Structure 1
């Protein structure tokens, strides 16, 4: 199994692309979904956020007030860095276990939806290919304003907090232009899926995994045999 990274700018349409992969039977591990999971009340990241940012970023029921926290981190680079230090290790642990489950299920490849792939840089070494979703700047701005119900100035602040789309596209193996119709985007993604299914990188990993499993089983058998041979009761029977 190999891993494909999916990234892009905020409100460029990664969810649309992810859905096409799912429709074609390709598992998608969404970092944003896991980010919500790791900050649930009582979790390790939740406790650290409370210590670092205080009660004002939480609702009365103890759940995280994402809007309040977003207002803080998108206007303060240091606060944003601190939040990433708290949440990213926990998110990556969740992603690792999710990927491991997919490996044992026999998938050829999976997609990891990583909005801050290039900004954090921590997952790059694990990815076989990278897809960047992009769109026209004006369209991105309007989508973000409509989706999050924020002003133009706040929307621009959030967009500018990320690496420019042009720079991300330069680092990609595949680029999905999502400024047109949904069908146009679908066709681009379907073509990419076809190309990815033609790769054979997953066989190397499967052979490696099989050899590891064989080695572990052989070791367990050897240990069992040694324990059996050294058992006084067994020796006496002999």
Structure 2
């Protein structure tokens, strides 16, 4: 199995990139989705999150108000660290289970905190996706309905993109069209395919 780690700051186009890699034949593990899964009712992180953040984040049906939780942690670095200390170990367990059970020759692990959570060390190579800040803000406003101020808070809460880019094996600058991005992804995919052992 060849493991590609993919990361990048919020609204740099990671979901689009993941879909392209799925279409090319990769198995994709979405750490962000796993982070959502482990705090659902009945899951191991659910009561821990309520214990840390209070009943105000619980909806009448028992699920968590993710938007409210997001507002809390993106405006308070210490609260964000508390949430990460709960969620990251649980996500790590889920990732390990997926990697142990996969039969795919190429697996892509997408995580916004790939480096911070120590997941990059598992990977054969790491791709970092970058975008200009104005594009990030525009995507957040269009895709999530955020105000410019709320979008800026989320973008500014993360480390500068260049810090991640310096640690990457491959930097993909998502500044052009979808076709531009697809062309870049297909070229990198072809390179990796050439390094894999031939399938019987």
Q: Do the two structures share a fold, i.e. TM-score over 0.5?
A: yes
Q: Is the 8 A contact 2:88 2:117 kept in 1?
A: no
**Alignment length (residue pairs):** 198
1:75-114 map, 5 Å? 75-102=75-102, 105=103, 107-114=104-111
- By how many angstroms is 1:93 displaced? 0.8
The structure showing larger relative contact order (alpha-carbon pairs under 8 Å, at least 6 residues apart) is: 2
Quick one: distance in 2 between partners of 1:136 and 1:84?
Answer: 26
- Match of 1:60, SS? coil
1:173 aligns with 2:177: no
Quick one: distance in 2 between partners of 1:96 and 1:137?
Answer: 33
Q: TM-score, normalised by structure 1?
A: 0.80
- By how many angstroms is 1:166 displaced? 1.6
1:162 aligns with 2:168: no
Quick one: distance in 2 between partners of 1:122 and 1:160?
Answer: 22
Residue 192 of structure 1, aligned match among 178, 188, 195: 188
- By how many angstroms is 1:124 displaced? 2.1
- By how many angstroms is 1:71 displaced? 0.8
For structure 2, the residue ranges without an aligned partner over 5 or more in a row are none
- By how many angstroms is 1:162 displaced? 1.2
Residue 151 of structure 1, aligned match among 147, 152, 155: 147
Match of 1:117 in 2: 114
Quick one: distance in 2 between partners of 1:182 and 1:192?
Answer: 15
Quick one: distance in 1 between partners of 2:111 and 2:13?
Answer: 13
1:33 aligns with 2:33: yes
Match of 2:64 in 1: 64
Larger Rg: 1
Runs of 4+ off more than 4 Å: none
Quick one: distance in 2 between partners of 1:163 and 1:4?
Answer: 21
Quick one: distance in 1 between partners of 2:78 and 2:64?
Answer: 20
- Match of 2:22, SS? helix
For structure 1, the residue ranges without an aligned partner over 5 or more in a row are 204-238
- Match of 2:171, SS? strand
Quick one: distance in 1 between partners of 2:133 and 2:37?
Answer: 31
- Match of 1:117, SS? coil
- By how many angstroms is 1:2 displaced? 2.5
- Match of 1:176, SS? strand
- By how many angstroms is 1:168 displaced? 1.4
CA RMSD of aligned residues (A): 1.4
Q: Is the 8 A contact 2:172 2:184 kept in 1?
A: yes
- By how many angstroms is 1:109 displaced? 2.2
Q: What are the Cα deviations for residues 60-119 of structure 1, in whole angstroms up to 9, with x where unaligned?
A: 1110111000111011111100000001111111111111121xx2x222100011113x
